[in-house]
Amino acid sequence: MISPQTLAQLHRWWEVGAVAALAALGAYWAALGGYILLPLGIALIALCIPMGLSAYRRQRFAQTVGAAGMIEVIEGELRFFAPDDGRQPAAMGGFMNLPDLVELRLVHLDHHRFWRLKSQDGQALMIPVDAAGNDALFDVFASLPNMDSAALVSALSSPSATGTATQTLWRRPDRRAALR
């Protein structure tokens, strides 16, 4: 019988395992050789490399749920629902249209980490890193123009700072400068 903790870890790594299984199938086909299976196997392996890297980064980005609140991403809008229970400092619910997003920061406040999203009109949305649904944020943040997903994952992997610290991870490129 598998313990619940082991089952949870296996479930967390399912996407990486599925891509690894596809790559193994590609290696098997390539090992069989021939004019059809060899190129198909190599093509499948080549396809699995970026998929596996993305799955691995997504898995490293996901955090164990420990904060109150829930994150949803629906049709270009990021929503954060948070109860006012006093467990998280400065956490408030709200929403942000993704096309209006101009800045993304990782903020450390008294041993809690938050995503700070800033819109064009200056409004900010603070979302705990470990809120429920945090795994959906990787695809949202990785799709931002000029976002380095490896830097995004490494920022989360660094140990939590004590006190207050802010790390700017992304700013929207100036559209006027891009037109010049």
Domain shared by 170 and 130, yes or no: yes
Burial class (CB within 10 angstroms; exposed 0-12, middle 13-18, buried 19+) of 62: middle
Task: Determine the structural domain holding residue 171 and report its residue range.
Answer: 70-179
Residue pair 36/65 in contact by the 8 Å Cβ criterion: no
Domain shared by 111 and 49, yes or no: no
Q: Residue 146 corresponds to which tokens in the numbers above? A: 């000029």
Return the pLDDT at 177. Answer: 47
Domain shared by 15 and 99, yes or no: no
Domain shared by 90 and 123, yes or no: yes
Domain shared by 164 and 138, yes or no: yes
Q: Which amino acid is at 178?
A: A
The β-bridge relationship of strands 94-97 and 101-109 is unpaired
What is the SS3 assignment for 3? coil
Domain shared by 105 and 28, yes or no: no
Last residue of a domain, one of 13, 39, 61: 61
Residue pair 115/137 in contact by the 8 Å Cβ criterion: yes
Domain shared by 145 and 91, yes or no: yes
- CA nearest to 17, candidates 47, 59, 78, 46: 59
Q: Rounded to 5 degrees, what angle do the CA atoms 149, 151, 156 make?
A: 100
Return the pLDDT at 162. Answer: 58
Residue pair 155/99 in contact by the 8 Å Cβ criterion: no
Return the pLDDT at 26. Answer: 97
Q: 2 vs 5, 8, 146, CA distance in Å?
A: 8, 10, 42
Domain shared by 168 and 145, yes or no: yes
CA distance 30 to 157: 36
Last residue of a domain, one of 33, 61, 89: 61
Q: List, for residues 107-120, the tens digit of each pLDDT value.
A: 988 788 899 999 99
Domain shared by 136 and 109, yes or no: yes
Return the pLDDT at 136. Answer: 87
Domain shared by 121 and 48, yes or no: no
Domain shared by 74 and 140, yes or no: yes
Last residue of a domain, one of 44, 61, 78: 61
Domain shared by 151 and 131, yes or no: yes
Could you give the residue ranges of the DSSP H alpha helices within 71-174?
136-142, 149-157
Strand order in the sheet with 77-81: 70-74, 77-81, 94-97
CA distance 99 to 114: 20
Q: List, for residues 44-90, the tens digit of each pLDDT value.
A: 999 999 999 988 888 888 887 778 889 999 988 999 998 766 655 54
Q: Could you give the number of structural domains in the chain?
A: 2
Could you give the residue ranges of the DSSP H alpha helices within 62-148?
136-142
